[in-house]
Amino acid sequence: MRLCGIPNCDTVRKARAWLAGNGIEIPFHDFRKNGVTREMLEQWIGKLGWEALVNRKGTTWRQLDESEKLAVDSAEPAIELMLKKPSVIKRPVLEMEDRILLGFDEREYTETFKK
* H or E, element range at 83: helix 75-84
pLDDT of residue 98: 87
Active-site residue numbers?
9
pLDDT score for 15: 98
pLDDT of the chain, 115 residues: tens digit per residue: 999 999 999 999 999 999 999 999 999 999 989 999 999 999 999 999 999 999 999 999 999 999 999 999 999 999 999 999 999 999 999 999 889 999 999 999 999 998 6
**What is the reported pLDDT for 13?**
98
**pTM for this one?**
0.91
Per-residue model confidence (pLDDT) at position 114: 85
What is the pLDDT at residue 115? 62
Q: From CA 78, how far away is CA 81, in angstroms rounded?
A: 5
Domains and CATH numbers, the chain: 2-113 (3.40.30.10)
